[in-house]
Every structure is written in structure tokens, then in C-alpha cells.
Amino acid sequence: MKNRGFVTTTAAAVILLVAVFIAPAFAQQGGKPAIIQKLEAKMGKPLTQQQGEKIVQGVQEMTLALKSSQDKLLKEMTSITGLSRDKVLALLPRGAQSAQDKNFLEKLEGAMGRPLKEDEKEKVGKAFYEFIMSAKGASEKFLTRLSEATGLSESVVKEVITGQ
């Protein structure tokens, strides 16, 4: 039972990372991604081609890192549960509302047709922990990449991205 809150917290954090970093980077407004428009406004000038290329590279690196982390999580979850990759993927919380769903382990157990053993719960918790740490590292690297590309501080870049 002790891992239920941990799994919910990690799922919420992952969804927050994607919502904060990935989705806005690809949202289009007036031909340019929204994030580019916001960064340019903060800089007070348009990005140079070189700056734009560095940002695109940062988005690509983060996307690849998150995909790799997700693939590792799914591989570990299929190994722990015996469920298919597609089934595990379908059970993972999506969106802010479902990330707060405290029934993830129950849904996992329902799909398995049996309760998870304590060691399996611990392995699920560890897999999610490793995933969230990897995603956190990718998001921090992305902030650094944007800061280096724009000359803005990481705190300003984070403020631009989160809208706070």
C-alpha cells in the first residue's frame, strides 16, 4: 500500500513535465511555436537562426530522453506485471485529472487478474521513481539548453515556459 501515493505523485509529475515543457513548445501561434514567441518577447528581439536551431535541438533531445525513459518504464512494467506494453500504456494515468486517480495500482491488479505482491509494488514504485528522475533530468537539461540559446537565466526561461 505504501507505493500508491508515490505512483500517483510520479505520474502527476510526469504529466506536469510534458504539459509544461513539451506541449507548449509545439503549440503554434501565428506561424511560430508559442514558446518561441514568448522567449522572443522576453529577449526583446527575434531569435537568430542559430538560437532557433539550439532550441529545436533541445526540444529534440528532451523528446528523445522522455521517449527512452517511457520505453524503459514500459519494459519494466511489462516484466513486473506480465501485461503487454499496450495494456500497461493504456493503464498509465493521462491528463491532470487522471494523474490524481489513486486507483492506478488497483487498475493494474485488475488487468493482471490478481493482486500485486509487495515486492512487485516496490518494483513498480522503483520503476516510476527512475522514470521521474530521468524525466526531471531531461527537463533540467532542456531549461539549460534554452537558457544558453537565449542568454536568459534559467529562472526566467522557466517563468516563460510555465507562464508564472
Task: Report the chain's mean pLDDT, rounded to a whole number.
Answer: 80
What are the pLDDT digits (tens) for 30-49? 577 787 888 999 999 999 99
Q: Please give the Cα distance from 96 to 14 (Å, whole number).
A: 10
Which residue pairs from 76-82 have beta carbons closer than 8 angstroms and sit at least 24 positions apart in sequence?
76/123, 76/127, 76/130, 77/124, 77/127, 80/120, 80/123, 80/124, 80/127, 81/108, 81/111, 81/112, 81/116, 81/120, 82/112
Give how many domains the chain has, as a whole number. Answer: 1
Tens digit of pLDDT for each residue in 80-123? 999 999 999 888 876 544 444 567 888 899 999 999 999 999 99
Directed axis angle between helix 49-81 and helix 118-150, to 10°? 180
Give dist(CA 35, CA 48) in Å, integer.
15
pLDDT tier for residue 163 given thresholds of 50, 70 and 90: confident
Each residue's pLDDT tens digit, 142-151: 999 999 999 9
pTM over 0.75: no
pLDDT of residue 3: 46
Q: Are 52 and 136 in contact (CB under 8 A)?
A: no
Query: Which of 14-18, 75-79, 96-100 has maximum average pLDDT?
Result: 75-79
Q: What percent of the chain has pLDDT over 90?
A: 40
Residue span of the structural domain in which 123 resides? 3-162
pLDDT of residue 123: 93
Farthest CA pair distance, the chain: 59
pLDDT of 29 strictly over 60: no
